[in-house]
Structure 1
Amino acid sequence: MSELTRTEFSALTEQFRPLFNRIAEGAAAREINRTLLHEPIRWLKEARFGTLRIPKEEGGFGVSLPQLFSLLTALAEADSNLPQALRAHFAFIEDRLNQPESEDRRQWFRRFVDGELVGSGWSEIGAVKLGEVNTQVSPAEGEWRISGEKFYSTGTLYADWIDVYAQQTDNGRDVIALVNTHQNEVERDDDWDGFGQRLTGSGTTRFHHARVEQPHVYDFSERFRYQTAFYQHVLLATLAGIGRAVVRDASQGVAQRKRIYSHGNAPQVKQDVQVLQVVGQISSWTWAAEAAVDRATHSLQRAFELQLSGANEAELHAANVQAEVESARAQVVAVELVTRAATECFNALGASDTRVSKVLDRHWRNARTVSSHNPVIYKIRNVGDWEVNGNDPTFIWQIGNGEGA
């Protein structure tokens, strides 16, 4: 699977630019009114955005991983909810790309070319112990049945399928089940009440003995090696896009401001050297964060290419370590700089820019929410432990109640 040339990718970026602009125009209104993303998702489906990684010969665009995350960053600049809502979709495609060619793989790609999307159903809250999963998949006559409840079900409100982490009742193995949402036994609630990323469709999903087709249960141990780094990279691209949006809105706000302070430095705000310094600072922070995110994507691409080449176990493991370490480094940089930029931008603006109608606070809220998904303090520790002691980073982790909870 070869990546697009620079010229081809530039043309593809320009092809999507009007769509991103259209999405950006309504982002503030959707945030204020809590309008779910059904319309922008439909536009993305019509543009075949969900097929970016699918090979050209199978109806997709055939982009590389650095190219994918570049486009996700541009989409996040328009509306940061969207890349996160599509996170599970692109991860499932990546998993299929890492599997041998088969009719099952081709059939999934055909579904996605037709516009179908995948959402996420992994995390559980409540009385679940660390390392356990309450959602169960049971064999039935010629199919499976799944029962359980998931929270943080990102993207499920817009999805045709849900990528569900569960346990088989017959052998106790951890599996991934792909559940069709178009059945009465699947219940999806828009009850995500976080202060940011409010429109990602990350509420509760309940499975009431829902049907799962026989081939759509996959052993979790067979998932693609670099999945943890991949999932993190979607959040990193989202952060980088938020940074861009901060610079965009701050620059436009300064350029358009008419009111000045008596103790300012110029007859127009756009000429005030201190204000320009603030904009220059947040622009530089965003540039650094985006550069870190972009560099880390190349380690993911290497891990993917080595997997396809049939490299030996030692090479594959080393590539996976590098991808995880670089995604962690980029996370440290992006979390720090983008959240700072989203706060500092108000030093270049006026009190009127804090009005709810302008909803500029969404950039900090969204960045802080994205930054909270995978605790950055543990990523920093992993990087330090790898640098000092040569210990592998954490590839797969779980969350649940601790002892005595």
Structure 2
Amino acid sequence: MSQINLNNPIEEELSNDADYAKVADRFRPIFDKIAIGTLDREKGRRLPYEEIGWLKVAGFGALRIPAKFGGDGFSLPQLFRLLIELAKADSNIVQALRGHFAFVEDRLNAQRFTSQDVWFDRFVKGDLFGNGWTEIGSAKVGELDTRVTKRGDSLLVNGQKYYSTGSIFADWVDLLAHDETTQQDVIVALPRHAEGVEILDDWDGFGQKTTGSGTLKIKNVEIPADHIIPFEHRFKYQTAFYQTFHLATLTGIAQSAVSTFTEEVQKRNRTFSHGNADLVRHDPQILQVIGKASAQSYAAQSITIQVANTLQQAYLAPLSDSEIVDIEANNEAELASSQGQVVIADLVLELTSTLFNALSASASTTNKQLDRFWRNARVVSSHNPLVYKEKVIGDWEVNRTPLPFSWQIGASKN
């Protein structure tokens, strides 16, 4: 699809391009500080409250807000490029911020129809969103037990979510619910610290341990009507956006794994009698292991940025005033993100396992936690089942079956 032409009077209100080096340089010292403590957080499962606080104060959450409104005006390729850098420092933090940037993206798209100055101002001041979409238990596929009801003149929210990633660190929660007053699914901007909101740190996954992905409980929380947004108004490329976050996270994991295993090889003094060199760092077979992993990491980043380019085209597509261009741009973004997921997941899972061939049994010590790269990649890759993504891609290629832009998980209806 051709690039969107930005000869439009509202261009200054878009997040289309910025000085990447200037903005990245502002955050890299924070990334370095975050990286220093990543291993200890992994060992002790210490949640990164302080580290996310550093990013919040520095304005990380406003990267996509247009410069006109006080943000950095990053394009989507620039955003995901910087997220890869952060994921290399700590992949858990990127995943914890996924819900925030999704709500920001939704408000950016809503700006075309109604002023979002209030939300933009909150983002620029540092407010962060968490995520509250998935329910576990008896809720059937396509149904929601989390409800908005009316009592007198008040609108109340009640319900429970799991996988509430990032909400424990946030000021707000991007909450999916069913509004009984209108009989439609809605997004609720839920104040994280309101009375009746409880978040449990009960996420027990073997990877991505410090993302704050536990249980969210909501009991009789009063919500203003303007904090309730019809789900049908949600930005069209949201599924592709969410998936690209996982691609950036996986790419950062890959880069960190290559860097860490390279350092282990560089400082290793023990060698095998049947090896190929006096020092492991000179052994051609070991260099081959590192070299292949490096190439796989590079491929993951290249694919992620290319997918982000298709997201940017979907973001800009409404400027064309062509429904066909808009549909094509969103199809391309959804297809690219699905294809990227299938390839990048395999690349990163392979390299985070195969890199152990560059070392020996001592690499399995829990003190080094070198298995964290595979564990983290495995968990990130499990969120959206790869087998279904492969099926969706094949069905599109062969039958042009429409791509699923929104889907839910729940109990079987049978």
* Length-normalised TM-score, structure 1: 0.96
The equivalent residue for 1:366 is 376
The answer to whether 1:48 aligns with 2:75 is no
Q: What is the CA–CA distance in structure 1 between the aligned matches of 2:62 and 2:296, rounded to whole Å? A: 32
1:19-168 to 2 correspondences below 5 Å = 19-100=30-111, 105-140=116-151, 143-168=154-179
1:217 aligned residue: 228
Answering whether residue 352 of structure 2 is matched by residue 342 of structure 1, we say yes
Distance in 2, matches of 1:347 and 1:31, equals 23
SS at match of 1:171: coil
Gaps of 5+ in 1: none
2:240 is matched by which residue type in structure 1?
Answer: A
Q: Distance in 1 between matches of 2:341 and 2:365?
A: 30
C-alpha deviations, 1:205-248, integer Å up to 9, x for none? Answer: 00011121221000000000100100111111000100101110
Q: Aligned residue for 1:3? A: 16
Residues in 2 aligned to 1:203 and 1:2: alpha-carbon distance in whole angstroms: 32
Partner of 1:164, secondary structure, is strand
Matched with 1:388 is: 398
- Matched letter for residue 3 of structure 1: N
Aligned length: 401
**Matches of 1:88 and 1:2 in 2, distance apart?**
18
Distance 1:148 1:374 in 2: 24
Show the 5 A alignment for 1:192-207. 192-207=203-218
> Structure 2: how far apart are the matches of 1:62 and 1:262?
57
Within the alignment, does 1:252 sit opposite 2:243 as a pair? Answer: no
Are 1:119 and 1:161, in contact at CA under 8 Å, matched by a contact in 2?
yes
Match of 1:265 among 273, 276, 285: 276
Q: What secondary structure does 1:166 align onto?
A: strand
Q: 1:44 deviation in Å?
A: 0.4
- Larger deviation, residues 368-377 vs 381-390: 381-390
What does 1:312-351 align with in structure 2 at a 5 Å threshold?
A: 312-351=322-361
Percent identity at matched positions?
A: 46
Write the distance in 1 (CA, Å) between the matches of 2:208 and 2:115.
34
Q: 1:2 to 1:118 in 2, by over 3 A?
A: closer
Alpha-carbon shift at residue 143 of structure 1 (Å): 4.3
The one-letter code sitting in structure 2 at the alignment partner of 1:321 is: N
Shift of 1:392: 1.9
Instruction: String of CA shifts for 1:101-144, please: whole Å, max 9, x gaps.
Output: 58861111111111110001100001111111000011345542
> Counterpart in 2 of 1:354?
364
Aligned equivalent of 1:403: 413
Whether the 8 Å CA contact 1:179–1:211 is kept in 2: the answer is: no
**Is the contact between residue 135 and residue 144 of structure 2 (CA under 8 Å) also seen in structure 1?**
yes
- 1: CA distance, partners of 2:395 / 2:278: 53
- Over the aligned positions, Cα root-mean-square deviation in angstroms equals 1.3
Once the 2 structures are TM-superposed, how far is the Cα of residue 2 of structure 1 from its aligned partner? Answer: 5.1
| Regions of 4+ moved over 6 Å | none
After superposition, residues 159-178 of structure 1 pair within 5 angstroms as: 159-178=170-189
SS of structure 2 residue aligned to 1:196? coil
Give the residue type in structure 2 aligned to 1:72: L
Q: Residue type of the partner of 1:110?
A: D
Q: Which one of 299, 312, 321 corresponds to residue 310 of structure 2? A: 299
Pair 1:180-2:191 in alignment: yes
Retained in 1: the 8 A contact 2:15–2:64?
no
Once the two structures are superposed, what CA deviation does each residue of 1:263-294 show, in whole Å capped at 9, x if it has no partner? 11111111011100000011111111111111
Q: Secondary structure at the match of 2:116?
A: helix
2:201 aligned partner: 190
Contact kept in structure 2, 1:285 and 1:341, CA below 8 Å = yes
Structure 1, residues 294-340: CA drift from partner, whole Å, max 9, x if none?
A: 11111100010112x15222221111110000001110111000010
Distance 2:321 2:21 in 1: 31
TM-score, normalisation: structure 2: 0.94
Partner Cα distance (2:310, 2:247) in 1: 14
**Unaligned stretches of 5+ residues in structure 2:** 1-13
Q: Residue 397 of structure 1 aligns to a residue in which SS?
A: coil
Structure 1 residues 327 and 101, CA gap change in structure 2 (3 angstroms): closer
